[in-house]
């Protein structure tokens, strides 16, 4: 396992590697990405065995719910998706080296704005081992080195994935220091990692509120916050109720353990008695725990069990078969509720009123505002980015699903012919 000195060595190696990666041609990067995909598929048996060992150990410890186990579980299909992600990224345009703008000044100086890699990216994440692959593909395409620190529960899975990725890099004759994994879950080491300003250019935490809060509190490296998704679905009085029900089912139930799942349902009082009974059959089938306000409990009394809702419930990212419901008096109350409890991730309205939809888009301050579609579309792959490094809920540098462009910066290139400033 890596210790404090080993972490410094890892940082130094990544820094050196980043200088090499920034000079790779598009063809070299794409060849390496395809090679990494090939080795992931070839290593499927080993990766699944490592993942099963992690799952068994986590279940034996008895401290994690099944929703957590679901997040850490790999399958043949998920490994193939990881490999396909590398291939998708290989097919994306390479923006490194492109000139975004160019202009002449009054002094005859020509100035260009050139897209360049960030350098070395540190990523701290929790239970999803697929992040190891997704992060590598995107950071590599953008010409960066990456150092990954996953959760203690998935160390064996991450090591197996990294082994396959490094084999792909080696086959493509690219430095294997392009991707590095901290295999020691020691918290003191994590804090040291967050403060390695001499080696890391940016730090990206992916996980729950506690992880992100810890990184923001302790990191001295510039940080991009991602992830916490206390997402709302507002069913407006002018909603198509069939669409609303389908969007609710997909947003809440397709995969409950992800940050773009619906956690709060707001229903306009004018259609609440028509809409809310429609959710009963579906929510009963999946044993969804409902926290409802008094109006919700009155409407659904005797149809399904409902717990009284609390302020804490409204502010909670459940990541489980659990939801908070509120009947709102009007549009203004719904917007006020969202602005009070939103984590600025994804907010959805269902309405057939075009003017209300436009107003909602203007009123809501979030990374993604969705009209008449599922919150589950807030995703780098669905946006056409080939994947995502995370979903930023802050406003500086990057916001929303972060693809290759978010993993780059720029420098100004200035061309003259002997001019001096007067």
Residue 362: pLDDT over 90: yes
Mean pLDDT of 270-281: 97
Instruction: State how far the Cα of 392 lies from the Cα of 38, in Å rounded to an integer.
Output: 30
CA 364 vs CA 84, 241, 263, 313, 358: distances in Å: 35, 22, 17, 21, 10
φ and ψ at residue 114, rounded to 5 degrees: -105, 135
Mean pLDDT of 136-155: 95
- 231-383: same fold as 4-226+398-415? no
Q: How confident is the model at residue 95 (pLDDT cuts 50, 70, 90)?
A: very high
Residue 96: pLDDT over 90: yes
The pLDDT of residue 109 is 96
Instruction: State how far the Cα of 20 lies from the Cα of 29, in Å rounded to an integer.
Output: 11
Q: How confident is the model at residue 386 (pLDDT cuts 50, 70, 90)?
A: confident
> Shortest CA distance to 370 belongs to which of 399, 392, 345, 394?
345
Give pLDDT tens digits for 170-229: 999 999 999 999 999 999 999 999 999 999 999 999 877 788 889 989 999 999 988 789
SS3 (DSSP) at 46? helix
The pLDDT of residue 254 is 94
Residue 387: pLDDT over 90: no
Is the CB of residue 54 less than 8 Å from the CB of residue 156? yes
Residue 422: pLDDT over 90: no
Fold (topology level) of 4-226+398-415: Aldehyde Dehydrogenase; Chain A, domain 1 (3.40.605)
- Alpha carbon 314 to its chain centroid, in Å, reads 22
The pLDDT of residue 181 is 96
The pLDDT of residue 127 is 79
Q: Which of 78-87, 170-179, 294-303, 393-402 is the least confident region?
A: 393-402
Residue 70: pLDDT over 90: no
Element at 368 (helix H, strand E):
strand 368-371
The pLDDT of residue 213 is 86
Instruction: State how far the Cα of 278 lies from the Cα of 295, in Å rounded to an integer.
Output: 16
Give pLDDT tens digits for 16-30: 999 999 999 999 999
87's CB contacts (< 8 A; 6+ apart) are 33, 34, 37
Give pLDDT tens digits for 394-421: 888 889 999 999 999 999 999 999 999 9
- Rounded to the nearest integer, the mean pLDDT of the chain is 94
Residue 122: pLDDT over 90: yes
Instruction: State how far the Cα of 140 lies from the Cα of 145, in Å rounded to an integer.
Output: 6
Instruction: State how far the Cα of 225 lies from the Cα of 324, in Å rounded to an integer.
Output: 25
Residues of the chain with pLDDT > 90: what percent? 84
Question: DSSP state, 365?
Answer: -
CA 18 vs CA 53, 200, 205, 222: distances in Å: 33, 10, 20, 17
The pLDDT of residue 68 is 84
Q: How confident is the model at residue 66 (pLDDT cuts 50, 70, 90)?
A: confident
DSSP string covering 150-212, please? --GGGHHHHHHHHHHHHHHHHHTT--GGGEEE-----HHHHHHHHT-TTT-SEEEEES-HHHH
The pLDDT of residue 389 is 85
> Shortest CA distance to 350 belongs to which of 229, 251, 227?
251
The pLDDT of residue 310 is 97
Q: How confident is the model at residue 57 (pLDDT cuts 50, 70, 90)?
A: very high
Q: Which two tokens stand for residue 360?
A: 């909602």
Mean pLDDT of 288-311: 97
CATH superfamily ID and name for 231-383: Aldehyde Dehydrogenase; Chain A, domain 2 (3.40.309.10)
The full set of domain ranges for the chain reads 4-226+398-415, 231-383
Residue 159: pLDDT over 90: yes
Instruction: State how far the Cα of 365 lies from the Cα of 321, in Å rounded to an integer.
Output: 26
The pLDDT of residue 250 is 98
The pLDDT of residue 207 is 79
């Amino acid at each position: 396992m890596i210790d404090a000195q080993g972490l410094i060595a890892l940082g130094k190696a990544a820094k050196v590697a980043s200088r090499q990666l920034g000079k790779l041609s598009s063809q070299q990067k794409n060849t390496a990405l395809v090679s990494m995909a090939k080795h992931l598929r070839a290593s499927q048996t080993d990766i699944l065995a490592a993942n099963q060992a992690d799952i068994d150990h986590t279940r034996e410890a008895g401290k994690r719910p099944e929703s957590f186990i679901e997040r850490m579980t790999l399958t043949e299909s998920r490994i193939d998706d990881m490999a396909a992600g590398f291939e998708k990224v290989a097919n994306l345009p390479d923006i490194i080296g492109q000139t975004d703008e160019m202009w002449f000044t009054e002094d005859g100086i020509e100035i260009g704005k050139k897209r360049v890699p960030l350098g070395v990216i540190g990523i701290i994440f929790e239970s999803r081992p697929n992040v190891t692959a997704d992060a590598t593909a995107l950071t590599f395409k953008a010409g960066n080195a990456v150092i990954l620190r996953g959760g203690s529960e998935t160390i064996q899975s991450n090591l197996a994935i990294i082994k396959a990725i490094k084999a792909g890099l080696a086959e493509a004759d690219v430095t294997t220091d392009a991707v590095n994994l901290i295999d020691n879950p020691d918290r003191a080491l994590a804090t040291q990692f967050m403060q390695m300003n001499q080696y890391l250019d940016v730090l990206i935490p992916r996980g729950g509120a506690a992880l992100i809060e810890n990184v923001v509190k302790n990191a001295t490296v510039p940080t991009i916050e991602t992830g916490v998704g206390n997402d709302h679905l507002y069913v407006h009085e002018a909603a198509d109720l069939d669409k609303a029900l389908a969007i609710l089912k997909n947003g809440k139930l397709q995969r409950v353990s992800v940050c773009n799942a619906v956690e709060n349902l707001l229903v306009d009082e004018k259609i609440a008695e028509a809409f809310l009974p429609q959710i009963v059959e579906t929510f009963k089938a999946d044993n969804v725990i409902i926290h409802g306000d008094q109006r919700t409990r009155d409407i659904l009394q005797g149809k399904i069990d409902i717990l009284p809702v609390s302020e804490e419930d409204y502010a909670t990212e459940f990541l489980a078969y659990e939801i908070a419901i509120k009947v709102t008096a009007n549009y203004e109350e719904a917007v006020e509720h969202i602005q009070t409890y939103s984590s600025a991730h994804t907010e959805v309205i269902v309405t057939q009123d075009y003017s209300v939809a436009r107003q909602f888009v203007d009123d809501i301050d979030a990374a993604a505002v969705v009209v008449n579609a599922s919150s589950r579309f807030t995703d780098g792959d669905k946006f056409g980015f080939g994947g995502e490094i995370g979903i930023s809920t802050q406003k500086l540098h990057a916001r929303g699903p972060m693809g290759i462009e978010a993993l780059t910066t720029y420098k100004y290139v200035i061309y003259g012919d002997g001019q001096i400033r007067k």
